[in-house]
């Protein structure tokens, strides 16, 4: 195979391209170099080959466990999405004449029975938005002669007994499902299938089962169950599990590609109101008054969304009608921390939502682009016992965010107790922060194209602090 898929890096690269809260725009894009992972994307890296990353679901499990049936049910329920099914079976090596003569000694359940490099190259093409010809394997002749054309899709279901065996194949998947069906059920189905569909006699099926199928299941398939995100008992009979999986896929499809990589990134659901407000604050001709007004509205939405991620306790109250209302009580142990100066623009929204909230401050001085220096901090003494809403409207390279978060952690704040609220995030900053602090949550309202040579967010909205506090030139 020519190029080995570098799944996470590839995803990161592709996902860093333009996305406006659910929309992808072809052309005029600031693509991301691998160097973007260090926060050094160039604005000249314009790319027009934008392709949305498909959501790849791997379905593994023993032979006749119900993998294909589960995939068929998922496809049926995802009726209005573009979905394709790719079977690992299609990549069985065709048998040579010599192997054919001794077919009963051939182990079809060993990882070497598959042309995994071919599978990887087909998947790579599909992920790049190209159609591929996938071989059609014939279980009766033990050869693949023809192929079928598979078009790129939003969702790729990849199913097969040994899909989780090779780490390169596992690395392609956004979601891994293991279909867990009792061995006796699998054997019974296998006998039925192989005798009726594949013209095999029961003695041959049982011999193959005890010689190869069962040992390979124990040695190669069962040990990969640990890689699964979801284990489905009873396969296609488990309608609840399939419903939940379909719901999850639908949610993921509506999200920015970065959310598929980082479960700790939340981009608020876009509406035309939100797009309209973004349009206004990004317009260089917008007056200071309007800039502040619409920024405040957006900030309020981000703050409200961020508060939704705080823990709560259940409580009941009595309503004026004497009825019981079962509700929840807000988390009381929280504080805000604003990164001076832009972050201070978010304090009012936080105060308006959380009466009497304590707000600390951090000042990070930027010298050049990598020389970030913490010059001032004033934080509540008991900050380690609080959930912290970190406020900074723009996440660019991620350098100052990392400084601020490191400071909070050094004060004893658990990483999982920090919610970083911002208006816009550059993919580079998201990669840096989400990778370094996987338990922290980022809540933002839009993901940007990238950074320019001067490390400014593109398209961005200029110097937020200057525009908000009226200290720009105009």
Ligand X SMILES: Nc1ncnc2c1ncn2[C@@H]1O[C@H](COP(=O)(O)OP(=O)(O)O)[C@@H](O)[C@H]1O
Q: What's the CA gap between 119 and 205, in Å, rounded?
A: 27
Structure tokens at 423: 């208006």
Contact partner, 108, from Mg ion, ligand X, ligand L45E5XJ5, none, Cβ < 5-8 Å per class:
ligand L45E5XJ5
CA-to-CA separations, 413 to 180, 418, 439, in angstroms, rounded: 40, 8, 12
Q: Which is nearer to ligand X, 64 or 307 (CB)?
A: 64
Note whether 445 and 423 are within 8 A (CB): yes
Q: Rule CB under 6 A: is residue 245 a binding residue for ligand L45E5XJ5?
A: no
Other CB atoms within 10 Å distance of the CB of residue 409: 16
Q: Which is nearer to Mg ion, 67 or 278 (CB)?
A: 67
What contacts 24+ positions apart, CB below 8 Å, involve 107-110? 107/212, 107/216, 108/208, 108/212, 109/63, 109/161, 109/162, 109/212, 109/213, 109/215, 109/216, 109/217, 109/220, 109/221, 110/212, 110/216, 110/220
**Residue 152 engages ligand X in binding (rule: CB under 6 A):** no
Which entry of ligand X, Mg ion, ligand L45E5XJ5, none binds 69, CB below 5 to 8 A by partner kind? Answer: ligand X
CA distance 398 to 434: 10
- Torsion angles phi and psi, residue 115, rounded to 5: -90, 85
From the list 18, 56, 57, 63, which residue makes contact with ligand L45E5XJ5 (rule: CB under 6 A)? 63
Interacting partner of 139 out of ligand L45E5XJ5, Mg ion, ligand X, none (Cβ under 5 to 8 A depending on kind): ligand L45E5XJ5
Q: Which is nearer to ligand X, 67 or 361 (CB)?
A: 67
| Four-residue CA torsion sign, 348, 353, 355, 359 | negative
Q: Which is nearer to Mg ion, 71 or 408 (CB)?
A: 71
Rule CB under 6 A: is residue 256 a binding residue for ligand X?
A: no
Least distance in Å: CB of 156 to ligand L45E5XJ5?
Answer: 17
From the list Mg ion, ligand X, ligand L45E5XJ5, none, pick the one residue 237 interacts with, judged by a Cβ distance below 5 to 8 Å according to partner type. ligand X
Give me the residues paired with residue 233 across strands. Answer: 180
Other Cβ atoms less than 10 A from the Cβ of 353: the count is 16
CB 415 within 8 A of CB 409: yes
Per CB under 6 A, does 235 bind ligand X? Answer: yes
- State how far the Cα of 258 lies from the Cα of 298, in Å rounded to an integer: 21
Binding mask 39-78 for ligand X (x = CB under 6 A): ----------------------x-xxxxxxx---------
Q: Does 200 bind ligand X (CB under 6 A)?
A: no
Q: How distant, in Å, are the alpha carbons of 70, 73, 86, 244 from that of 77?
A: 11, 6, 17, 11
CB of 388 to ligand X, least distance (A): 47
261 binds ligand L45E5XJ5 (CB under 6 A): no
CB under 5 to 8 A by kind: which of ligand L45E5XJ5, ligand X, Mg ion, none does 189 bind?
ligand X
| Minimum distance, C-beta of residue 146 to ligand L45E5XJ5, in the bound complex (Å) | 16
Query: Which of the listed partners (ligand X, Mg ion, ligand L45E5XJ5, none) does 92 bind, with a CB threshold of 5 to 8 Å by partner kind?
Result: ligand L45E5XJ5
**Does residue 90 interact with Mg ion by CB under 5 A?**
no
Closest CA relative to residue 347, chosen from 308, 392, 309: 392
Binding-site size, ligand L45E5XJ5 (CB under 6 A):
12
Interface with ligand X (CB under 6 A): 61, 63-69, 189, 193, 235-237
Binding site for ligand L45E5XJ5 (CB under 6 A): 63-64, 67, 89, 92, 108-109, 139, 142, 160-161, 213
| Sites of contact with Mg ion (CB under 5 A) | 68
């Amino acid at each position: 195979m020519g190029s080995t898929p570098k799944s996470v890096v590839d995803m990161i690269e592709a996902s860093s391209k333009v996305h406006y809260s659910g929309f992808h725009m072809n052309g005029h894009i600031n693509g991301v170099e691998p160097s973007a992972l260090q926060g050094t994307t160039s604005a000249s890296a314009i790319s027009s080959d934008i392709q949305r990353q498909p959501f790849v679901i791997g379905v593994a499990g023993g032979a006749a466990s119900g993998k294909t049936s589960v995939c068929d049910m998922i496809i049926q329920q995802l009726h209005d999405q573009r979905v394709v099914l790719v079977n690992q079976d299609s990549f069985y090596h065709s048998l040579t004449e010599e192997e054919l003569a001794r077919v009963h000694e051939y182990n079809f359940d060993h990882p070497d029975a598959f042309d995994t490099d071919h599978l990887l190259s087909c998947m790579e093409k599909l992920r790049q938005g190209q159609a591929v010809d996938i071989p059609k394997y014939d279980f009766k002749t033990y050869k693949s002669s023809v192929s079928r054309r598979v078009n790129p899709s939003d969702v790729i279901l990849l199913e097969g007994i040994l899909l989780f065996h090779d780490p390169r194949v596992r690395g392609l998947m956004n979601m891994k499902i293991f279909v867990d069906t009792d061995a006796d059920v699998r054997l019974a189905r296998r006998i039925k299938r192989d005798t009726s569909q594949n013209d095999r006699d029961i003695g041959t099926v049982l011999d193959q089962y005890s010689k190869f199928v069962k040992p390979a299941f124990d040695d190669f398939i069962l040990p990969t169950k640990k890689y699964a995100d979801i284990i489905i008992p009873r396969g296609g009979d488990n309608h609840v599990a399939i419903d939940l999986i379909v719901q999850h896929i639908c949610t993921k499809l509506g999200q920015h590609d970065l959310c598929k990589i980082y479960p700790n990134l939340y981009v608020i659901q876009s509406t035309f109101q939100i797009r309209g407000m973004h349009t206004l604050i990004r317009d260089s001709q917008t007056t200071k008054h309007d800039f502040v007004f619409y920024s405040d509205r957006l900030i309020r939405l981000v703050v409200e969304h961020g508060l939704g991620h705080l823990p709560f306790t259940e409580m009941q109250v009595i309503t004026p009608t004497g009825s019981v209302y079962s509700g929840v009580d807000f988390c009381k142990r929280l504080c805000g921390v604003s990164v001076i100066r832009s972050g201070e623009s978010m304090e009012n929204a936080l105060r308006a939502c959380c009466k009497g909230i304590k707000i600390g401050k951090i000042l990070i001085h930027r010298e050049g682009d990598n020389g970030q220096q913490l010059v001032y901090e004033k934080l509540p003494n008991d900050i380690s016992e609080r959930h912290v809403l970190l406020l900074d409207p723009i996440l660019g390279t991620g350098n100052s965010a990392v400084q601020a978060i490191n400071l909070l952690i050094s004060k004893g704040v658990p990483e999982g107790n920090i919610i970083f609220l911002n208006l816009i995030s550059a993919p580079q900053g998201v990669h840096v922060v989400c990778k370094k602090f996987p338990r922290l949550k980022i809540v933002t309202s839009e993901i940007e194209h990238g950074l320019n040579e001067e490390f400014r967010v593109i398209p961005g909205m200029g110097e937020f602090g200057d525009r908000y506090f009226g200290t720009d030139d105009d």
